[in-house]
Amino acid sequence: MKKNLTYSLLIWGMCCGMVMAQETGYELSRSKAPIPENVRMNVAQRYELLHQDVDKKGKKRKIREQSQFIMKSATFVDNLLKSGKVLYNEPMSRYINQIMDHLLKEDPALRAKLHVYISRDVAYNAFATDQGVLLVNVGLLARAKSEAEIAFILCHEIEHYKKKHGIERVKTASETIAGIGSSREKVLQIHAYNRSQEEEADKGGLVLFLKSGYSLDGIRQGYDNMAITHLHFENIPFSDIMLEQGTLNLPDSYMLEQVRTIRTYEETDDEMSTHPNTATRRKYMAETLTAADSLVKRQDHLLGIEAFQQAQSMARMEMADLYMQAGYYDFAFYTAYVLGLTQGEDPYLQRIKTYSLYTIAMHASMDSVRRVVANYKKIQGEPQRATFFFQKMSPKELCVLALRENYLYWMQSRDSLYLRTSKHLMKALGGNEEVAFSSFAKDMPKEMPEATAETVIKYGLTDLIALDDFEQMYVQQTAEYNKYKKPGNWKSLSAKEQKNWYTERDKQERKAFLATIKEVKRVVFINPRVTITDNRQASGVDMKASAEMTQKAEEHLKKYVATQGYTAEILSLNDLEADDIQALEDYRTLMDYLKEYSQQKLILEPSQKKLLDEFQRKYNTRYIGFYYHDHNVFHVGPGALIVGWVFTLPYTWGLMTPWFAYHFFAPTGSFDTNMLIYDLETGKKVNNFSLSGKGHSFRNKIPASIAKQVSVFDPK
């Protein structure tokens, strides 16, 4: 049986925590002003920039197809750069740009065309577009073994840009993306280079890399990491001893004895793949290198190992939050666990572990733990132990464990978020009812029994129950359940009587909710968008009309929302100034919030509650809205109309002449519009209205559709 921490040690730890509460710990990276010029560009400018490389002398149909794909690509890149997923001018971005400056110090013209940013993504990857945007994932920086490895990856991506591989993909787009699904998938497929392009980028990038003075070990390290991109950046054994505090003792059977053997991508067959595997790439790179290359004096860290370690430390801290945002709460917990061992405990890491446990426990109580915890049988390496541990525990055991961590973190931080999460856990622990102290043992037996699921639940909170702060928190958070507590004779009530009780309870809860929103009469619409597609345009989009009608839509939103007694504000990312960085950060906060809820599929407390509260105070609202309007305008060619009229004339005696005349001058069309309004306090939609129909006059349809959608906006 494993040895528990003593009660006095627990109290000492909490006292230390109170001292730590004065320190905020690590803070997530945020973009800094000024916003780079190429980020502030709009879709039309991006389109014109990329469209210059299209062969204007080719077939008209081919030019049209290429133009339409360039428009989709420009829209995709514009949305990505303004999505909050990309970081600008913060330490990690500055570090990567310093490496890029060194690599291209002899080619300033090329350096000026390339814009390197950090992407908030856990994957080991970098991505270059033909607009000169090069994104380096946080996951790459977190896993890299040296600065030389990062430099090698950057050289590879620079070569993709120099060789215009993306443009080549666009020129053959109609052949390469047949059968692919959405527009986003098509854009991604355009930038998914083939075997010959990857080999060309490897060999061309190697030439630049050899000139840089970086160690050849960077090449090997890069391919080593490519072979294990599916693994965590650390492989440190996970142990539940750190969780065994006070009177909590966990069964030994919850720890996996042997983890699954690691299998690398290098071992996979690439004969039918569009990309060569790492073994193939190592082989032809080794054939390219000469003996003289290895004799040149080279270094792993030209900027200094301290700069690398600092940037990587930040990236790894970011990974814990990114795993959580992606819905991988078991990996988020494991990441915070290993970082606590390797980099030292930090209030930020404790928050990640606490919130991850809370989310896992809540999903387990709803029989949906597989939504936030991976199948341990598919995980390789030491993280498999953590995943196995969470799947082995029962929902009530997880609630006990999470409640302990919530309380201890609340003692450290006094963050009110963890009072609310404790409320959820207490409710889940009691089977969605009030939890009584009598449910847990107040005193420990003289001889501690063998750890089982039952002892975890019975004694897991015994030491905390004796503390006044815990009782105060408990009473404060469970008092409200007494208002809606089921009567003692619940089981003897008829089905109709039970239904009436639930109905009355819901009315009371709704009444309490409405009392909190009476003073809030403001909606912030996030980046409204109107897109007018027109078959007469080579790109397929009437960019001038789209920009004009987006501005009109913003005016109509303010006008019609006012008819409901609300005021509307527009948070637009269409015309950003260099110092508008806060608008991007506000948008990031909202997107992280909505993504978190969509991943969880449960209305839980948001992990970034403080940032969300700051947003509400700044804009004086609890409502955010999204408005999208897509209008398709189709012009029938005059030749087709004339042929059709001549063909039908003998059979219709000229009765179809007015129809053909109308369509000769007026196009056909259809529209699809959607408005979503969320309540940030509850995470619920208070308005979700879609409207579609036919009609070519988008100038009339937009104000009419907005008026109809806003008319149903009434939270009450």
What confidence score (pLDDT) does residue 120 get?
Answer: 95
pLDDT, average across residues 623-634: 86
Q: Which residue has the higher pLDDT, 395 or 704?
A: 395
Please name the amino acid found at residue 116.
V
Backbone angles phi, psi at 562, to 5 degrees: -65, -30
Owner of token pair 């993280």: 383
Percent of the chain with pLDDT over 90: 32
pLDDT tier at 86 (50, 70, 90 boundaries)?
very high
pLDDT, average across residues 401-412: 87
Q: Are 171 and 130 in contact (CB under 8 A)?
A: no
pLDDT tier at 184 (50, 70, 90 boundaries)?
very low
For 614-635, letters b (16+ CB in 10 Å) and e give ebbeebebbbbbbbbbbbbbee
Q: Is a pLDDT exceeding 60 seen at residue 191?
A: no
Taken as a whole, the chain contains a residue count of 716
pLDDT tier at 201 (50, 70, 90 boundaries)?
confident
pLDDT, average across residues 264-269: 63
Q: Is a pLDDT exceeding 50 seen at residue 650?
A: yes
Beta carbons within 8 Å of 216's beta carbon, 6+ residues apart: 148, 289, 293, 294, 298
In angstroms, the CA 620 to CA 72 distance is 36
What confidence score (pLDDT) does residue 26 get?
Answer: 93
Q: Are 282 and 82 in contact (CB under 8 A)?
A: no
Q: Is a pLDDT exceeding 50 seen at residue 183?
A: no
CA distances for 263 relative to 46, 124, 279, 379, angstroms: 42, 17, 14, 11
Least confident interval from 371-385, 447-461, 540-554, 647-661: 647-661
What confidence score (pLDDT) does residue 666 get?
Answer: 63
Q: Which residue has the higher pLDDT, 640 or 532?
A: 532
Helix (H) or strand (E) holding 569: strand 567-571
pLDDT tier at 14 (50, 70, 90 boundaries)?
very low
CA distances for 367 relative to 360, 363, 372, 429, 525, angstroms: 10, 6, 11, 13, 35
**Tokens read off for 281:** 């790439």
pLDDT tier at 503 (50, 70, 90 boundaries)?
confident
Mean pLDDT across the chain, nearest whole number? 80
Q: Which residue has the higher pLDDT, 24 or 208?
A: 208
pLDDT tier at 437 (50, 70, 90 boundaries)?
low
Least confident interval from 358-362, 473-477, 552-556: 473-477
Backbone angles phi, psi at 523, to 5 degrees: -125, 135
Tell me which residue of 83, 87, 71, 77 sits closest to 120, measured CA to CA: 87
pLDDT tier at 656 (50, 70, 90 boundaries)?
low
Q: Is a pLDDT exceeding 70 seen at residue 258?
A: yes
In angstroms, the CA 493 to CA 470 distance is 35
Q: Is a pLDDT exceeding 60 seen at residue 441?
A: yes
What confidence score (pLDDT) does residue 88 get?
Answer: 95
In angstroms, the CA 373 to CA 388 distance is 9
Q: Most confidently modeled of 19-28, 229-238, 269-278, 506-515? A: 229-238
pTM reported for the whole predicted model = 0.84
Burial class (CB in 10 A: 0-12, 13-18, 19+), 42: middle
pLDDT, average across residues 300-305: 96
Enumerate the β-bridge partners of residue 116: 134
Q: Is a pLDDT exceeding 50 seen at residue 54?
A: yes
Question: Helix or strand or coil: residue 316?
Answer: helix
pLDDT tier at 416 (50, 70, 90 boundaries)?
confident
In angstroms, the CA 641 to CA 659 distance is 10
Backbone angles phi, psi at 694, to 5 degrees: -120, 155
Backbone angles phi, psi at 624, to 5 degrees: -125, 145
Q: Model confidence over 210-254: pLDDT tens digits?
A: 999 999 999 999 999 988 888 899 999 999 888 888 888 899 999
pLDDT tier at 69 (50, 70, 90 boundaries)?
confident
Least confident interval from 210-219, 302-311, 572-581, 696-705: 696-705
Please provide the DSSP assignment of 649-698 as one string: HHHHTTTTHHHHHHHHHS-EEEEEEEEEEEETTT--EEEEEEEEEE-S-H
